Amino acid sequence: MKQPDDRLLKVAAIQQLCGDSKQENLDTSERLIRQAASEQHQLLVLQELHATRYFCQTEDTAVFDLAEPIPGPTTERLSALAKELGIVIVGSVFERRMNGVYHNTAVVFESDGTLAGQYRKMHIPDDPGFYEKFYFTPGDSLRNDGNSGFTPIDTSVGRLGVLVCWDQWYPEAARLMALAGAEVLIYPTAIGWDVTDDPDEQARQLEAWVTVQRGHAVANNLPVIAPNRTGVEPDPTGTSDGIRFWGNSFICGPQGEFLARADEDAETILSATIDRQRSESIRRIWPYLRDRRIEAYGDITKRVRD
């Protein structure tokens, strides 16, 4: 019998619709996880806040009732699925850390169901329709274990550089994950258009989102997995027309090449096979990390350069 090639990693990015029912959203996530596992995927990545609607369109203190501790109901369900199916799962939780402290947290479960690690979103936006600073405390820049917040999570399928949505616009986050030994960059995402934006503006925003993440792949010689949600979600207050999440989840290789890309509207399991040795091969011919002039970069830690 032919033995599996350890160089190859079959990964899936799950793009789903989300409604008002947390239970139904998690049922959808589970259905798609089970389908992906049946197709021999080894690593499954869910989108940001897949258990709920994107509630940050408005500021409402009642929404904090949706938050859960870790461990809690959502993590226990994902843990059980990872163990039953023998796969690594990256999920997303609106985390209640303590009274008054809440995080947007990515959780990673090993194939035996254990919590391999978690990452609390570091960059928190506050834009029209994306009022996340009201809900989320930024992740800790220095964790309890002494590591930076930008530290990969070790799993049986490799070292995962897990970041979340707004983090994807920051080259510093991707670079720090790469320097810490990440073998893949992962960006669970919830991003879309104001439904009143004109088509040209929508096209510019989508292209910017795709391009910046492909740039992180190129600049760090790492594959990128970026699942986004899809569908129109209404503004609960009715004061705006809501957000049309643009889907377009994608997986790209270490030169930014598309390995798989979803369309705008479909709920889907995006599948790709990553060659674990390609990053090493690319770094031998494009040695960006070797040629960094670290002695000249001190001003990067300043808010602005005087």
Digit-coded pLDDT (tens) for 187-213: 999 999 988 889 999 999 999 999 999
Catalytic residue status for 56: no
Residue 250 half-sphere exposure toward CB, CA atoms < 13 A:
21
Residue-level pLDDT at 1: 42
The catalytic position among 18, 56, 95, 121 is 121
Full-prediction pTM beyond 0.85? yes
pLDDT confidence of residue 4: 56
Q: For 230-278, how does the pLDDT look when each residue is reduced to its tens digit (9 = 90+)? A: 999 999 888 888 999 999 999 999 999 999 999 998 899 999 999 999 9
Q: Please give the pLDDT value at position 2.
A: 45
Residue-wise pLDDT tens digits, 146-202: 777 899 999 999 999 999 999 999 999 999 999 999 999 999 999 999 888 899 999
**Binning pLDDT at 50, 70 and 90, where does residue 142 land?**
confident
Length of the chain counted residue by residue: 306
48 is catalytic: yes
From the candidates 18, 56, 68, 165, which is the catalytic residue? Answer: 165
Q: Which residues contact 14 (CB under 8 A, 6 or more apart)?
A: 29, 32, 33, 36, 44, 45, 46, 47, 50, 227, 268, 269, 270
Give the three-state DSSP class for 48.
coil
Helices in the chain by DSSP H: which ranges?
22-38, 73-85, 171-179, 199-220, 278-285
- Beta-strand pair 184-186/224-226: parallel
DSSP letter at 228 equals: B
pLDDT band of 10, cuts 50, 70, 90: very high
Higher pLDDT residue, 146 or 10? 10
As a whole number of angstroms, the distance between CA 51 and CA 92 comes to 8
* Residue 18 annotated as catalytic: no
Q: Are 12 and 188 in contact (CB under 8 A)?
A: no
CB atoms within 10 A of CB 251: 25
Degrees to nearest 5, angle at CA 130 with 171 and 305: 35
For the segment 19-32, the average pLDDT, to the nearest whole number, is 96
Q: Is the Cβ–Cβ distance between 42 and 274 less than 8 Å?
A: no
Residue 38 has pLDDT above 80, yes or no: yes
Q: Which domains does the chain have, with CATH numbers?
A: 12-301 (3.60.110.10)
Choose, from 18, 48, 132, 233, the residue flagged as catalytic.
Answer: 48
